[in-house]
Amino acid sequence: MGEAEAKGLAAKEASRRLAHLSSDVKNRALLAIADNLVSRQQEILWANERDRAEAEASDMAPAMLDRLLLDADRIAGMAQDVRSVAALPDPVGEVFDMRTLPNGLQVGKRRVPLGVIGSVYESRPNVTVDISSLCLKSGNAVLLRGGKEAINSNLALARVLQEAAYAAGVPEGAVQMVESTDRAVVDHMLKMSGVIDLLVPRGGAELVRYVASNASVPVVAGGVGVCHTYVDRSADLEKAVAIVYNAKVQRPTVCNALDTLLVHADIAARYLPLIGREWAKAGVEMHCDEAALQILSDVPSLVLTPASEQDWGKEFLALVAAVKVVGSPDEAIEHIQRYSSGHSEAIVTEDYSVALRFLDEIDAACVYVNASTRFTDGSQFGLGAEVGISTQKLHARGPLGLRELTSYKWIIFGSGQVRP
């Protein structure tokens, strides 16, 4: 039996008791984890140093190196996130849709954990803590497989999590971290039907696609965001500058950042120079269609490139945006429907009917009117935290919080009823 399978089975075993653990014990365990992350930070930092030394030796890009870095602040931030999860209401046991049928049967649904959540993820070690704490709170065991580049950090974090949780009464085995960095482990996890109840890949588009197309276990895939913002002819241009600037610049390397800006032709000549100048200050490179190029070519100090077909539907994850002038809301909606990855799409408009049409017709996890797509996030939406963002329609869509890590069972209270 391989390591992943042995640990998966141990997680499955633990999940049976974890499902019935009281909220009190789970919350005590989460607070103990938060405390121990801080009090044992030295061993985490040492492990992280080893990862970073290896990463530097292998010439890792500075942005990736930064994602790998742990320091006292970041560990304090992780501990704070765990405390936030402890403070959230426990989803397990919630009874809903309960009603009494004409025959007297009382029928309803009770929320239950899924069982074992698997996760395959890259780079940032805080994912280890995020996913573990959300799974613990929702009564799920977890089988983690982090990236090779963060293996020492992840193992140190897992050790702290496990020891704190088990000492607080969480069934042993509830948190499992695969030690092997062999790529074959991932392939093995993808096929662990009956052990892994839900697999959540977190990482680049390539990893997510690989997992989604090769897994025989249930997967919630997402995280690839080709996000459009359409500035309508009726837009408040000041709001439109603030929203589009924020959507691109506030954190360009993430999935909910703007990729393509669509602007109505009637206001393009006024709006594009406004946003262009702001973006230029932040170093944004604009890949423009012909109409946008014509408008912007006179504006000094912009970085302009003619857009190619490859720019539409591209997730840039950088200070680059594709820009297109459209003749109507219809053209904008058509463009979005064609190129959207179903993540987050926005319109800026003061036209009530156009706003409602956009909300109706755009088929994406999150559809915005007059706000930045950067809000697509479990914490921002008030879910407390998230294990990922789903761009599929089945099971859950958008940010995956505690509730999305659960299922339900029908419970039926009878008094002797039989079916006629």
| Torsion sign over Cα 298, 304, 307, 308 | positive
Angle between helices 41-57 and 72-87 (to 10 degrees): 120
Q: How many CB atoms lie within 10 A of CB 152?
A: 19
> Under the criterion CB under 8 A, does residue 88 sit at the interface with a copy of itself?
no
> Between 196 and 215, how does the x/- string for binding to a copy of itself read (CB under 8 A)?
-xx--------------x--
Judged by CB under 8 A, the residue of 245, 279, 312, 316 near a copy of itself is 245
> Under the criterion CB under 8 A, does residue 364 sit at the interface with a copy of itself?
yes
> Between 377 and 416, how does the x/- string for binding to a copy of itself read (CB under 8 A)?
---xxx---------xxxx-xx--------xxxxxxxxxx
Question: Cβ of residue 25: shortest distance to a copy of itself, in angstroms?
Answer: 16
Q: How many CB atoms lie within 10 A of CB 12?
A: 20
Question: Cβ of residue 135: shortest distance to a copy of itself, in angstroms?
Answer: 15
Judged by CB under 8 A, the residue of 250, 290, 294, 388 near a copy of itself is 250
> Under the criterion CB under 8 A, does residue 105 sit at the interface with a copy of itself?
yes
Q: What's the token pair of residue 406?
A: 């659960």
Separation CA 291–CA 401 (nearest Å): 42
> Under the criterion CB under 8 A, does residue 246 sit at the interface with a copy of itself?
yes
Q: Beta strand pairing status for 388-390 and 398-400?
A: antiparallel
Question: Cβ of residue 52: shortest distance to a copy of itself, in angstroms?
Answer: 29
Q: Which stretch binds a copy of itself (CB under 8 A): 62-70, 160-168, 271-279, 373-381?
A: 373-381
Q: Which is nearer to a copy of itself, 52 or 397 (CB)?
A: 397
| Distances 252 to 63, 267, 346, 419 between C-alpha atoms, Å | 12, 26, 16, 59
Residues between 214 and 243 that touch a copy of itself (CB under 8 A): 216, 218, 236, 239, 242-243
Separation CA 102–CA 115 (nearest Å): 34
User: Which residues in 210-238 are b (16+ Cβ under 10 Å) and which e?
Assistant: bbbeebebebbbbbbbbbbbbbbbbbeee
Say if CB 38 and CB 75 are below 8 A apart. yes
Torsion, Cα of 204, 205, 208, 210 (10° steps) = -110
Question: Cβ of residue 250: shortest distance to a copy of itself, in angstroms?
Answer: 5
Q: Which is nearer to a copy of itself, 53 or 411 (CB)?
A: 411
> Under the criterion CB under 8 A, does residue 308 sit at the interface with a copy of itself?
no
Q: Which is nearer to a copy of itself, 113 or 125 (CB)?
A: 113
> Under the criterion CB under 8 A, does residue 338 sit at the interface with a copy of itself?
no
Q: Which is nearer to a copy of itself, 269 or 367 (CB)?
A: 367
> Under the criterion CB under 8 A, does residue 22 sit at the interface with a copy of itself?
no
Say if CB 373 and CB 247 are below 8 A apart. yes
Q: Which of 257, 319, 255 is nearest to 287 (CA)?
A: 319
Q: Which is nearer to a copy of itself, 195 or 198 (CB)?
A: 198
Site residue total, a copy of itself (CB under 8 A): 61
* DSSP code at position 189: H
Chain residues binding a copy of itself by CB under 8 A are 19-20, 99, 101, 105, 107, 110, 112, 114-115, 197-198, 213, 216, 218, 236, 239, 242-243, 245-247, 250, 359-361, 363-372, 374-376, 380-382, 392-395, 397-398, 407-419
